[in-house]
Structure 1
Amino acid sequence: MMAVLPAGSAKESRSPPSINSGFEATIPYKNPISGRLFPWTGRMPVPRTPGTATRHSIMRPSIANTVALAALVLSSIVSSMSATAAKPSPKKPLRLLLLWHSPDGHPRATHEYQAGMRIIAKALQPNRNLQTILVHANSPWPKGPELLDGADGAALFVSEGAKWISDDPKRLAAFRRLARRGGGLVGLHWGIGTRKAEPIAAYLALLGGCHGGPDRKYSVVTARATPATAGHPVLRGIRPFEVRDEFYYRLKFSRPSKTIIPLLRVPIDGRDETVAWSWQRSDGGRSFGFSGLHFHENWKRIEYRRLVVQGILWTLGQSIPEKGLDIPIAPGDLKLPGKKSPQ
């Protein structure tokens, strides 16, 4: 271990040390212990004979130790910074808006928007990557654009959804922004519809399918619903099943139609009609639609719950088990909200 000379010692006043580099230093040499400056002499260093110790041989380890210590500290700092930079920040959950309307004049136990969305919210609750927000979205819905701008996806179980989106230019613009950033979009039953034809084009650009215009068709049927595209993630765990429901059919779809993937077909008026679909949009986002769900009691069916919940998850890019989601339901989950007194 090399000795370190204390500052102010008598030995410190001797001739300045040489730099062991082959030449004298071109700048004044500073004693690392005392801080004293020595002028450059312009002389070559004096060779040392083996076994002899010089002032420089004592000082050199101190310089080396200092440099080594500085390098070690710098290395530790860099390593710490690298570790901090490499550590991934906590991933924020995806934010999904479940948009519902008040009763729209249909008989009780039909078009039950709020009750249906509560079932969906409960089914999605186990997914920790997801934050679901139930939103009462009756017009004028002034906070809507702001909510949409902070969302990763939106599902519509509302009255005349295609018309409702276009009713407010700011609302339509917010939905378009959500789509452009790859957000998931879902339309259920009357949430895909409009009585008038004018809102159809804007809605098709968002959802890919629409039940709209004066030529729209709908029918209450008891029929066998059949999965239309084998292997699609939304259809996992869903086999052909018989159901009674009011389906919208002869739907209008975005062009080119080959980009629309039919998911569920039902025979109506002698034709197999597409009543559920998925769409990989050109903006990179995904859309899903289902024209059933007129009758609230159909939430009892595991096929309906899987179709809707897995459709929502697909639009958000979430994984779906090979055998489909296990989505239990309790009798209390089907309870309808009580009648409210007039405001």
Structure 2
Amino acid sequence: MKPVLLLALLAATAVSLQAVTPDGKKKLVLIAGKPSHPPGMHEFRAGTMLLEKCLKSVPNLVVDRHEMGWVTDEKTFDDADAVVIYADGGGKHPAVVDGHLETLRKLTAKGVGFGCMHYGVEVVAGQAGKEFQEWIGGYYENAYSCNPIWDASYTSLPEHPITSGVQPFTTKDEWYIHMRFRPAFGHGVASAEDGAAKFVPILVAPPSDATRDGPYVAPKGPYPHIQAEKGSPETMMWSIERADGGRGFGFTGGHFHANWGNDNVRKAVLNALLWVTKVDVPEKGVESTVTPEELTQNMDPKAAPKPKNAGMETPRVFQRVAQR
């Protein structure tokens, strides 16, 4: 091969690994899932709209937001630097249906960042468990992980771009615990390496004994292996720098829409969105405000089902669905 042609091919490859928009900005593709759960829970559309609004002032960043679980045209991935999904997961996770897993496989192989939030960190092990361990470091595995609603107190934060400007905080959320991390990352509560991959836990807190005893949202538990770790810390948000050059993160909070009004929750996630896209995080993190009025806007048109027997206790099955 002629030297000039070889150099041209190498240059083209370098461009494909470091995608930018035509105006030279980095691009985040932010995907909101389909409506689910009663009002105020899993408000993926309203939540991503708030995050998009808070990122508008960030220079060198384009946010391409989509709804209903996937992008309207996959050509938008051509110049994407990161893809983040905030949606329901499990067997019908947007990442695994309709050939999307292969699309994401090609993107991450190029070094495109990937992140998932709340239920979006859960996949079926046989469908995409290995892929999620590779792309974001770990995932929620049914019956191994669990999903209690509890007050997590983050009293100590690591030095990382995602924690820039974030102060210790406490919030009540459906904070998932006991993720299925890569074996090399252990329980995920300490920084670790797996070859060229580097893992850093971001939000770590010890659940109370009562939290480990349950009930969990679904199934209600308790699980003996969760109870056996009483007193141990758990990781609810984490980051990974992958061997392919891309970045990934997981965030298990985000069940209750009202928590986007918490400055520290919001800042940690906004910082993560920049970091996974390889946009420099400001020294004090992404500054933003969300008013109580804004928290009521753009909610999905859904209503909680009414119990069949008025005046009687809400059936347990509804309670579980409402929370999950």
User: If the length of structure 2 is used for normalisation, what is the TM-score?
Assistant: 0.70
Matched, 1:339 2:301: yes
Match of 1:287 in 2: 248
Instruction: Pick 1 or 2: higher relative contact order, CA cutoff 8 A, min separation 6.
Output: 2
Q: CA deviation at 1:144?
A: 5.2
SS at 1:167 equivalent: coil
Distance 1:168 1:206, change over 3 A: farther
The amino acid of 2:201's aligned partner reads P
SS at 1:198 equivalent: helix
Match of 1:51 in 2: none
What CA distance in whole angstroms lies between the structure 2 residues aligned with 1:294 and 1:340? 16
How is 1:1-343 mapped onto 2 (pairs within 5 angstroms)?
A: 91-104=23-36, 106-138=37-69, 143=72, 145-160=74-89, 163-169=93-99, 171-194=100-123, 197-229=126-158, 231-257=159-185, 258=192, 259-268=198-207, 269=212, 270-336=231-297, 337=299, 339=301
Q: CA deviation at 1:293?
A: 1.1
What CA distance in whole angstroms lies between the structure 1 residues aligned with 2:166 and 2:288? 12
**Identical positions, percent:** 29
Q: Deviations over 1:59-107 (max 9, x none)?
A: xxxxxxxxxxxxxxxxxxxxxxxxxxxxxx9852122111012212x22
Deviates more, 1:147-156 or 1:235-244: 147-156
Deviates more, 1:220-229 or 1:108-117: 220-229
Match of 2:227 in 1: none
Do the aligned residues in 2 keep the contact of 1:197 with 1:212 (CA within 8 Å)?
A: no
What CA distance in whole angstroms lies between the structure 2 residues aligned with 1:90 and 1:200? 35
Do the aligned residues in 1 keep the contact of 2:26 with 2:279 (CA within 8 Å)?
A: no
Which blocks of at least 5 consecutive residues in structure 1 are unaligned? 1-88
Which blocks of at least 5 consecutive residues in structure 2 are unaligned? 1-20, 186-191, 193-197, 213-230, 304-324
What CA distance in whole angstroms lies between the structure 2 residues aligned with 1:340 and 1:246? 20
Do the aligned residues in 2 keep the contact of 1:195 with 1:214 (CA within 8 Å)?
A: no
Distance 1:233 1:111, change over 3 A: same
Do the aligned residues in 2 keep the contact of 1:154 with 1:185 (CA within 8 Å)?
A: yes
Q: After TM superposition, which residue ranges in structure 1, 4 or more long, deviate above 6 angstroms?
A: none
Q: Which has the larger radius of gyration?
A: 1
Do the aligned residues in 1 keep the contact of 2:26 with 2:61 (CA within 8 Å)?
A: yes
The amino acid of 2:301's aligned partner reads K
Q: CA deviation at 1:195?
A: 5.2
What is the root-mean-square deviation of aligned Cα atoms in Å?
2.3
The amino acid of 1:286's aligned partner reads R
SS at 2:283 equivalent: coil
Q: Deviations over 1:108-137 (max 9, x none)?
A: 101110011011101110123111111114
User: If the length of structure 1 is used for normalisation, what is the TM-score?
Assistant: 0.67
Q: Which has the larger strand fraction?
A: 1
SS at 2:115 equivalent: strand
Q: Deviations over 1:28-55 (max 9, x none)?
A: xxxxxxxxxxxxxxxxxxxxxxxxxxxx
The amino acid of 1:132's aligned partner reads V
What CA distance in whole angstroms lies between the structure 1 residues aligned with 2:68 and 2:300? 19
How many residue pairs get aligned? The number is 248
Do the aligned residues in 2 keep the contact of 1:253 with 1:260 (CA within 8 Å)?
A: no
Do the aligned residues in 2 keep the contact of 1:100 with 1:113 (CA within 8 Å)?
A: yes
Distance 1:149 1:227, change over 3 A: farther
